Amino acid sequence: MSARLALALGIWCAVAAILLGVAASPTPSLAAVQCTPDLQGAMDEPGQKDLTRFCFDPVAAAPFDFVVSWNWDAATFPGNNSGDACALFDTDMDGNANFAL
């Protein structure tokens, strides 16, 4: 085997190993999701529709992106009612909300 062929084969094997390692590694955003459950359980407030859990994923597509989601106790809202929620964010770590979405 010539030196040139051996070098090309070595480079190809290294690239294949790197690609296989990247493809087999877990997705960071799936591993980083942090959920907070409703500790009092479903339907704990009479006559109110509250959340079952709130989830926050700080690892998204870009360093300044994040994903929030929540699950409701109720699956449907009769009539013209809607489920509304707000996420509060403390960006300067002073214990007070700086942004509400």
- The model's pTM: 0.49
Which residue ranges make up each domain of the chain? 27-100
Residue 82: predicted pLDDT? 79
Over residues 24-75, the pLDDT tens digits come to 555 554 557 888 888 887 777 776 677 888 888 877 666 667 788 888 887 7
Closest to 66 (Cα-Cα) out of 74, 54, 75:
54
Residue-wise DSSP of 3-69? HHHHHHHHHHHHHHHHHHHHHHSPPHHHHS-EEEE-TT-TT-STT---EEEEEEE--SSSTT--EEE
Which residues are CB-contacts of 101 (< 8 A; sequence separation ≥ 6)?
68, 86, 87, 89
